[in-house]
Amino acid sequence: MRKPRVFVPELAPEIRLAGQEAHHLIHVLRVEPGREVLAFDGSGLEAAARVVKVEGGAVVLAVASPEPALREPPVAVVLHIALLKGDKLAGVVRAGSELGVSRFVLLVTERSVPREMGRTKLERLRRIAVEAAKQSGRARVPEVAEPLALAELSPVEFGLVAHPYTPTTINAINWPESGAVALASGPEGGFTEAEVEHLTGLGFAPVCLGPRILRAETAPLVLAAAAAALRCL
Binding site for ligand SAH (CB under 6 A): 162-164, 185-186, 189-191, 208-210, 212-214, 216, 219
If the CB atoms of residues 58 and 208 are measured against ligand SAH, the closer one turns out to be: 208
If the CB atoms of residues 96 and 190 are measured against ligand SAH, the closer one turns out to be: 190
If the CB atoms of residues 102 and 109 are measured against ligand SAH, the closer one turns out to be: 109
Name the residue number minimizing CB distance to ligand SAH.
186
Q: Nearest CA to 219 among 190, 193, 194? A: 190
Q: How far apart are CA 47 and CA 184, in angstroms?
A: 34
**Minimum separation from the CB atom of position 222 to ligand SAH (A):** 8
**Minimum separation from the CB atom of position 105 to ligand SAH (A):** 14
Cβ(124)–Cβ(86) below 8 Å:
no
If the CB atoms of residues 142 and 190 are measured against ligand SAH, the closer one turns out to be: 190
Cβ(185)–Cβ(83) below 8 Å:
no
Q: In this structure, which amino acid lies at residue 87? A: D
**Minimum separation from the CB atom of position 101 to ligand SAH (A):** 16
Cβ(196)–Cβ(55) below 8 Å:
no
**Minimum separation from the CB atom of position 86 to ligand SAH (A):** 15
Q: Nearest CA to 159 among 194, 200, 197, 198? A: 200
